[in-house]
Structure 1
């Protein structure tokens, strides 16, 4: 097998060299594997490692009118001789530098591993994937430490922010291991599979007992590929138009905001109805987070993210810091970018006349909702995030033991205010990753503890849907 591994490593080197002349291939591997692996230290590879067939790529690509559909035609060429694969791929796509759609990128990466498709070749497929990722990581560390390929240029107003890396310093070495279709760096991460509720609860209990001076919060993702970002920062268009979205919803649905007294009240109400905001939903209840990791995308790997903060760092809904950050959406994008640039210019705030002018406008807005607000706004507060313990006036927040992380200006580009640094780490400093695969079984167990759709979503339509599903099964 060692001889075969040597061949796979050689193929990985050859593939990386070819990618140097084909920017679309580099971007495809980066978007699917690299961004998550660099930023978080782990990535879901189950769609490659669990592959048993070509799926529907042929018909989906043809419907998209993509030239890549030929890769999946009945006469397509697949060979463990990489040179044959590369030549065939080049004959179809060429070396043109163009943007591929997410489907095209996924199909292209999948196609490269087609020669090793099937259960009997899983070990070869895994070794090849690890060899390819190890080879590409060296390129990514040098080029993409800000997690953005060179082709994705930023607006001039954000150029200064782009100079600041948004991932932690690249590790000198990575020890890539695989567990349940997830490849992770064992030097920085520890992976735990949630097999049942009782063992999961025991793990959380042990973590709490060893961190008595911290509060643990939880968040469930139904897909491992989801980023730890508030909704407004998942789309550049949403970020640019945050002020317009905020104001338009209030104008169109004035009565729904009649009881709101603060800017945070407005954001919570908007979040409740699905408008992207700078709030990130979290919960104090680990079972609630586990439910959200399992309740959708049943065939995908889910994740429970554990976040920790010092007890003293949690703010209440009426705190000044919460009031300041919650008022940011009232101002347009140009104001926000300028305020960010002033926050990072290195000038002490008391000597920065322009900053004081902008801060005064923000303070005036805060004071309009909170007359007792002391109008002093520190630069570091605007760049930060804060854990918020909200008022439990909303039935859904109450049922879900809900809290929020309220994000400020962050790094100017919306990369998430370094939320990944809040993730729980064990005594050895490794990030603890909880993944879940047997979602149906976990959901049945959670139902025994009254953790289900009817309990967490008390609105009558959700309760009715839960009852209907219960008796359908």
Structure 2
């Protein structure tokens, strides 16, 4: 994955450098008087670098070729280094097209003071969110963690016993509450219902509403610093509840703890493995038409899934899910792709623990409360009880 690094010149102006995964600089911007102008140029570069007509080939005074990336209005967004030949120049253009798109990371190297945004109010939170890059080809999602030390893992992987007995939990719940799951449909819908009732699953809740995520980061009311994680997921990689890839990953939960999926084998060898065959049979229980062939990459992926909006809580929370596959075996979760993360070690949104109560009060004035996020009567009753107690 490529990355845009924002820096400051000796003259005090801002510029960016686009770097390939090997850290080679492949594009350098013009200089800008403000930091926001540099970030705006990055957004334009991301949008234009896929278009061949936005590259202009030039020649330096010493006869060496280079290219420029231009905006829709003809403004120069960035220039390449000088090349020794036209062949290497064409290779440079391909590198910019490959590594400079919306999936590229943006790193501000102007100092560690900007690596962590300390949030103490809704206003500063919104300001931090607005500073993050967005593009029309992606959807931004948010997740609030009550403790900044929490890892980005679904509840299933927070206890080894839950992982070990995932298939047992799955079967026991359906066995004990058959009426609740009789019409659930796809296995993914069953996982959503399990998540609703606080059972550990391989789902991680996310939301398109930044204020909902802020509420969850503060909801425990403690004094531990919290965090809001921001995702930027390409629209063409978002799946729906009935997707074949969603069915594949969801049904991993039905398999026993010793399940292993061979890593590093070709597709034919992979699909002849006994555990892969067992997984295919589970999928075909809900999708008889499912072709008995699995892409190994799908099993080790993390997928953003839009659920059926048949749950008041999901509707109120503007909810979606990250569905976690496995890294070779059930005990090892797949990893969220780095390109999905807008926040990272380079830029964190940390909520001050000492300000959680104040932020919750500010959110209440905006209509974000326990009773609106959890519309079920027991939660509304609990909110009213707490709201009017002495």
Q: TM-score range by the shorter chain?
A: 0.5 to 0.7
Match for 1:257 among 177, 181, 190?
A: 181
Match for 2:350 among 424, 434, 443?
A: 434
Structure 2 counterpart SS, 1:393: coil
The corresponding residue for 1:190 is 115
**Alignment check: 8 A CA contact 1:454 1:463 kept:** yes
User: Could you say which structure has the higher helix fraction?
Assistant: 1
- Are 2:195 and 1:277 equivalent residues in the alignment? no
**Alignment check: 8 A CA contact 2:142 2:213 kept:** yes
Cα-to-partner distance string for 1:209-251 (whole Å, 9 max, x where unaligned) = x433322211111112222110111111111111111111111
- Are 2:370 and 1:453 equivalent residues in the alignment? yes
Where do 5+ consecutive residues of structure 1 fail to align?
1-174, 176-184
Between the aligned partners of 2:337 and 2:115, the Cα distance in structure 1 is: 15
CA 1:385–1:272: 2 relative to 1, 3 Å: same
- Are 2:298 and 1:381 equivalent residues in the alignment? yes
Between the aligned partners of 1:253 and 1:353, the Cα distance in structure 2 is: 34
Q: Where does 1:44-55 land on structure 2 (aligned, <5 Å)?
A: none
**Alignment check: 8 A CA contact 1:423 1:431 kept:** no
User: Could you say which structure has the higher strand fraction?
Assistant: 2
Between the aligned partners of 1:361 and 1:310, the Cα distance in structure 2 is: 31
Match for 1:203 among 128, 138, 145?
A: 128
Cα-to-partner distance string for 1:266-320 (whole Å, 9 max, x where unaligned) = 1111111111011111111110000001110422111111122212111111111
Please provide the CA RMSD for this pair. 2.3
Match for 1:423 among 326, 330, 341?
A: 341
Q: Where does 1:61-100 land on structure 2 (aligned, <5 Å)?
A: none
Match for 1:216 among 122, 137, 140?
A: 140
The corresponding residue for 1:17 is none
Between the aligned partners of 1:386 and 1:403, the Cα distance in structure 2 is: 11
TM-score, normalised on structure 2? 0.67
TM-score, normalised on structure 1? 0.55
Single out whichever of 276-285 and 252-261 deviates more from structure 2: 252-261
Between the aligned partners of 2:321 and 2:254, the Cα distance in structure 1 is: 19
Structure 2 counterpart SS, 1:226: coil
Aligned residues: 279
**Alignment check: 8 A CA contact 1:293 1:436 kept:** no
The corresponding residue for 1:227 is 151
Between the aligned partners of 2:221 and 2:364, the Cα distance in structure 1 is: 18
The corresponding residue for 1:4 is none
- Following superposition, the deviation at residue 206 of structure 1 comes to 3.7
The corresponding residue for 1:137 is none
Structure 2 counterpart SS, 1:446: helix
